[in-house]
Amino acid sequence: MGKVSIHWFRQDLRLSDNPALSHAVKQGAVLPVYILDDEAAGDWKMGGASRVWLHHSLAALKESLGGHLAVFKGSAEHILTDLVAETGAETLTWTRCYEPWRRERDERIKSRFQDMGLDVLSGNGSLLWEPWTIRKGDGGPYRVFTPFYKKGCLAAPPPREPQPAPDISDFAPMPSSSLEVGALELLPTLPWGEEMMQHWTPGEKGADQALDRFFEVGLSDYSEGRDFPARPATSGLSPYLHFGEMSPNQAWCFSGRAGDFMGCEKDAEHFRRELAWREFSYSQLYFHPDLPTVNLNRKYDVFPWQEDTSLLRQWQKGETGIPLVDAGMRQLWQTGHMHNRVRMVVASFLVKNLLIDWRQGQAWFWDTLVDADLANNAAAWQWVAGSGADAAPYFRIFNPATQGERFDPDGDYIRQYVPELSSLPDKWLSKPWEAPEAVLRQAGVSLGKNYPHPIVDLKASRQRALTAYEQVKAHE
């Protein structure tokens, strides 16, 4: 047998624009490998929705590799050691990941195999710029987005142009210990996963289709429409980017070209700016590995969070009696996704109106989002809570009723996910508790019976949040 190289797939479940895979292919016969390493992930083991996505994504990847994907479950370190011994592989490649547990594990694996004389290559394929290359003049990380983007990213060498998929004509024999994807047991026993996946096509082809759809119907309305949850103006690319079924370079470069071609450069630039928010989240996680657990701004450590499992449960189930919040939480449960504007509103409602710790909201999102991403999720929750980088000031509290009126003016989004309110006139849809009794009756709404009374009074809970914030201010 000639030279063998192992490409270890992780968050790069694609063939195109995958420099590490292309390197492996050039060295000899390739053995593509995926390892579900839950133990090393510890507390950050993938959540339920992500596991469902992963199942389908691995199946798609295996198909595009003509069945040549060796799949394993267990310690990546042990499994790779066995595979190198079995195949005599001389090259090991992977695309870099940035979660603290992965960085630690990968460094160990890299030095182990380099010591054994293997050519080990970890390539860039998940971020536009490596986090350590975007720093302030004094060498420290940026804490504010705009200078991060303008002085850091845009002043750095531009992102790599996407590369075509390599032509893989030579595969190494499949190890006999390889499992079927189903043996990873990623699918839940409840039918919930099936319903959720009706909204998605995981895998590289699904990513291409999502990008095409976005260019056709979303991009030219992106700047304005991206805030309106009922408008198809956003890309829906987040799970594909998270699992690496599309590289950020593909999204970045192709949107630039589409923007020029379609004459909507401003929208394309706005879209690229959002991609840069993803880079900013990764920068925060890279420089502050405890971002998912510890307040970036430590003065928030004294914040008087309330423990209330009953309120938390009502929020999770979308039964708060606040229509926009309920619509968002139900969209999350039904589709594994939630519109960004609504994520901000439901998160603000949890940490401000209910005074529940952002880490509890983060945990629910981690389990239920198909795009659950350690960097983006932690950075965004801290941003909403006020403790994060460039955060929304704590005292700026979203009013979810006003947000509903402003960003869902025709009520299409609320009506889709809260059908029990669908006959209410637009005027009352975001605040049914203020509607006259006769209007409610005519719309078939009976508060406390077929739709809840609000679980908190918005005005009083806002005031309570501001009082709680005084404790943080006192520590300034």
CB of 344 to ligand FAD, least distance (A): 5
Cβ neighbors of 234 (< 8 A, separation 6 or more) are: 214, 218, 222, 225, 226, 339, 340
CA distance linking residue 324 with residue 343, whole number of Å: 10
Q: Pick the catalytic residue: 305, 319, 420, 433?
A: 305
Contact 42, 18 (CB under 8 A): no
Q: Is the dihedral of CA 33, 363, 365, 466 positive or negative?
A: negative
- Provide the token pair at 250: 């593909």
**Count of residues interacting with ligand FAD (CB under 6 A):** 27
Contact 315, 356 (CB under 8 A): yes
Could you please report the per-residue DSSP string of 351-407? Answer: IIIS---HHHHHHHHHHH-TT--HHHHHHHHHHHHT-STTPPPTT----HHHHHHHH
Closer to ligand FAD by CB, 229 or 432: give it. Answer: 229
Burial class from Cβ neighbours inside 10 Å (0-12, 13-18, 19+) for residue 45 reads middle
Q: Pick the catalytic residue: 77, 90, 269, 274?
A: 274
358 is catalytic: yes
Stretch that binds ligand FAD, among 93-101, 127-135, 259-267, 273-281 (CB under 6 A): 273-281
CA distance linking residue 214 with residue 235, whole number of Å: 5
Choose, by CB under 6 A, the member of 9, 142, 254, 277 that binds ligand FAD.
277
340 is catalytic: yes
343 touches ligand FAD (CB under 6 A)? yes
44 is catalytic: no
- Provide the token pair at 178: 């390889």
94 is catalytic: no
User: What x/- string results for residues 142 through 181 when contact with ligand FAD is judged by CB under 6 A?
Assistant: ----------------------------------------
CA angle 348–351–243, rounded 5-degree value = 70
364 is catalytic: no
Closer to ligand FAD by CB, 120 or 128: give it. Answer: 128
CB of 148 to ligand FAD, least distance (A): 12
List, edge to edge, every strand of the sheet that includes 4-9: 70-73, 29-36, 4-9, 91-95, 119-123
Choose, by CB under 6 A, the member of 31, 54, 380, 472 that binds ligand FAD.
380
333 is catalytic: no
Contact 372, 46 (CB under 8 A): yes
Between strands 91-95 and 4-9, the pairing is parallel
User: What x/- string results for residues 3 through 42 when contact with ligand FAD is judged by CB under 6 A?
Assistant: ----------------------------------------
User: What x/- string results for residues 208 through 247 when contact with ligand FAD is judged by CB under 6 A?
Assistant: ------------------x-------xxxxx--xx-----
Contact 406, 414 (CB under 8 A): no
CA distance linking residue 260 with residue 5, whole number of Å: 40
Choose, by CB under 6 A, the member of 22, 331, 376, 461 that binds ligand FAD.
376
CB of 451 to ligand FAD, least distance (A): 25
Stretch that binds ligand FAD, among 60-68, 70-78, 341-349, 432-440 (CB under 6 A): 341-349
Choose, by CB under 6 A, the member of 54, 61, 324, 369 that binds ligand FAD.
369
Residues annotated as catalytic are: 274, 277, 305, 340, 358, 381
Q: Which residues bind ligand FAD (CB under 6 A)?
A: 226, 234-238, 241-242, 274-275, 277-278, 281, 340, 343-344, 347, 365, 369, 371-373, 376-377, 380-381, 384
